[in-house]
């Protein structure tokens, strides 16, 4: 039911009306004008009592309204949103650590311990998340993770990482990131993202290892932009979990280290009969060819922004991307009167691991 919030003046006027009616019943010998002056005069005692009562009742209304707002997750304050989320098995994702692989070189047979500290170019630390031994060629590729969560751990491929504690047998005392670098580091999940995931779980709850369970398990631990669960990935009993990193506006293909971390995370959560394959998304750029009326730079910019926002909100991995829905989104752009779409010529139908993404726009003159 609605929870209207009356103003202090509204509450005061109601109190004055009730008080005036009661006095007229008690003292019918007094003129209505005299009773009205006694109740409504700014300097009257009864008017002062009504105003004080009105302000107190207004504070009570504020408290009741606040309590009503906490009943639903989309109006609740962060503290209560977190509690709503936990009831549905959704938890605020903590800051995630960047992961990657690095090449160590030195004397063949040298052991590289787990927990070995290295200095990142940005000033933070990375540590080996597993141990290893240099092979006959004096090389070993070993998994790393940032010592702390956050975007500062993300590092470009090929970077040299000085080893903090000198290790005998390693020469030089550095490790080199592979071409994929370190990725996956993200800050703590914000309230907007948490609310969106709570609402998604309410609308499509996971249970018994269905497709929504995999989405929830992944999003509780990793800063993914999109995730899709594909049954029968390579036959009966197999499940494909296709993920895109980055953001919905600018999705990225996950690096192998991220995929390995997700697979390890899902392994104890999956149903025992499920064979899970965590796969990288394939980005499918969709170029647009448009004409707009009026054909001005501000309108073009508004149409382009509306199109990019529509791709971020509407495009899903492996799902048909409807041309009519795109046209509807472009029609809502500020200043747009009409438009013509030459590309895409029809709905975009991606493969099961493909995600349609904004592919830029070519402008035609309006007909």
Whether residues 113 and 174 fall in one domain = yes
Asked if residue 350 is part of any domain, the answer here is yes
Asked if residue 197 is part of any domain, the answer here is no
pLDDT of 350: 97
Which of these three, 280, 315, 341, is where a domain ends?
280
pLDDT of 12: 78
Neighbours of 61 (CB within 10 A): 18
Asked if residue 195 is part of any domain, the answer here is no
Asked if residue 299 is part of any domain, the answer here is yes
Whether residues 175 and 224 fall in one domain = no
How far is the C-alpha of 216 from the C-alpha of 228, rounded, in Å?
Answer: 11
Whether residues 61 and 111 fall in one domain = no
Asked if residue 92 is part of any domain, the answer here is no
Residue 285, strand partner residues = 357
Whether residues 330 and 351 fall in one domain = yes
H helices of the chain, in order, are: 8-26, 32-40, 45-69, 78-87, 191-203, 211-219, 256-266, 297-314, 323-331
How far is the C-alpha of 46 from the C-alpha of 270, rounded, in Å?
Answer: 70
How far is the C-alpha of 330 from the C-alpha of 289, rounded, in Å?
Answer: 12
pLDDT of 48: 77
Whether residues 289 and 276 fall in one domain = no
Cβ-based neighbours of 235, under 8 Å, separated by 6 or more? none
Whether residues 345 and 306 fall in one domain = yes
- Closest to 234 in 3D by CA, of 356, 352, 318: 352
CA quadruple 333, 338, 340, 344: dihedral sign: positive
Whether residues 297 and 276 fall in one domain = no
Which tokens go with 87? 């009831």
Asked if residue 190 is part of any domain, the answer here is no
Please state, in angstroms and as integers, the Cα–Cα distance from residue 186 to each residue in 100, 161, 222, 326, following that order.
14, 21, 8, 30
How far is the C-alpha of 185 from the C-alpha of 223, rounded, in Å?
Answer: 8
Decide if 165 contacts 127 (C-beta within 8 A): no
Whether residues 335 and 264 fall in one domain = no
Instruction: Give me the domain span that covers residue 275.
Output: 208-280
Long-range CB contact pairs, 39-45, < 8 A, 24+? 40/16
Asked if residue 255 is part of any domain, the answer here is yes
CA atoms within 13 A on the CB side of 221: 15
Give me the number of domains the chain comprises: 4
CA atoms within 13 A on the CB side of 305: 11
What is the pLDDT tens value at each position of the chain, 367 positions in all? 466 778 877 777 787 787 778 878 888 887 887 777 777 777 777 777 777 777 778 888 888 888 888 999 999 999 999 999 999 999 999 999 999 999 999 999 999 999 999 999 988 999 999 999 999 999 999 999 999 999 999 999 999 999 998 889 998 899 999 999 999 999 999 999 999 999 999 998 878 788 899 999 999 999 999 999 999 999 999 999 999 999 999 999 999 999 999 999 999 999 988 999 999 999 999 999 999 999 999 999 999 999 999 999 999 999 999 999 999 999 999 999 999 999 999 999 999 999 999 999 999 999 8
What per-residue string of b and e applies to 119-145 under the rule 16 or more CB within 10 Å gives b? ebeeebebbbbeebebeeebebebbbb
Whether residues 264 and 292 fall in one domain = no
Rg (CA), the chain: 31
Asked if residue 134 is part of any domain, the answer here is yes
Q: Are strands 275-280 and 238-246 parallel, antiparallel or unpaired?
A: parallel
Whether residues 177 and 105 fall in one domain = yes
Whether residues 178 and 106 fall in one domain = yes
Please state, in angstroms and as integers, the Cα–Cα distance from residue 12 to each residue in 15, 22, 38, 45, 48, following that order.
5, 15, 14, 14, 10
Q: Are strands 354-363 and 282-293 parallel, antiparallel or unpaired?
A: parallel
């Amino acid at each position: 039911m609605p929870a209207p919030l009356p103003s202090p003046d509204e509450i005061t006027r109601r109190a004055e009306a009730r008080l005036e009616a009661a006095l007229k019943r008690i003292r019918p010998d007094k003129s209505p004008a005299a009773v009205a002056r006694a109740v409504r005069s700014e300097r009257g005692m009864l008017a002062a009592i009504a105003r004080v009562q009105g302000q107190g009742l207004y504070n009570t209304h504020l408290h009741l309204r606040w309590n009503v707002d906490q009943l639903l997750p989309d109006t609740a304050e962060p503290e209560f949103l977190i509690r709503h989320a936990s009831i549905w098995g959704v938890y605020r994702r903590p800051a995630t650590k960047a992961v990657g692989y690095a090449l160590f070189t030195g004397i063949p047979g040298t052991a590289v311990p787990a927990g070995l500290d290295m200095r990142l170019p940005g000033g933070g630390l990375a540590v080996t998340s597993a141990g290893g031994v240099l092979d006959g060629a004096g090389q070993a590729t070993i998994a790393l993770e940032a010592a702390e969560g956050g975007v500062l751990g993300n590092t470009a491929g090929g970077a040299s990482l000085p080893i903090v504690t000198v290790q005998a047998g390693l020469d030089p005392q550095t490790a080199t990131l592979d071409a994929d670098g370190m990725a996956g580091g993200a800050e703590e999940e914000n309230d907007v993202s948490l609310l969106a995931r709570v609402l998604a779980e309410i609308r499509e709850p996971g249970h018994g290892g269905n497709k929504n369970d995999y989405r929830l398990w992944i999003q509780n631990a990793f800063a993914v932009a999109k995730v899709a669960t594909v049954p029968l990935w390579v036959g009966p009993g197999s499940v494909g979990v296709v993920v895109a990193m980055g953001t919905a506006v600018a999705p990225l293909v996950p690096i192998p280290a991220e995929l390995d971390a997700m697979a390890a995370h899902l392994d104890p959560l999956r149903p025992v009969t499920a064979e899970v394959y965590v796969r990288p998304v394939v980005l499918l750029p969709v170029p647009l060819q448009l004409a707009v009326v009026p054909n001005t730079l501000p309108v073009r910019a508004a149409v382009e922004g509306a199109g990019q926002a529509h791709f971020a909100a509407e495009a899903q991995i492996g799902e048909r991307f409807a041309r009519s829905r795109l046209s509807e989104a472009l029609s809502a752009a500020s200043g747009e009167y009409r438009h013509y779409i030459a590309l895409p010529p029809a709905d975009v139908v991606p493969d099961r691991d493909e995600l349609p993404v904004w592919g830029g726009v070519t402008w035609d003159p309006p007909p």
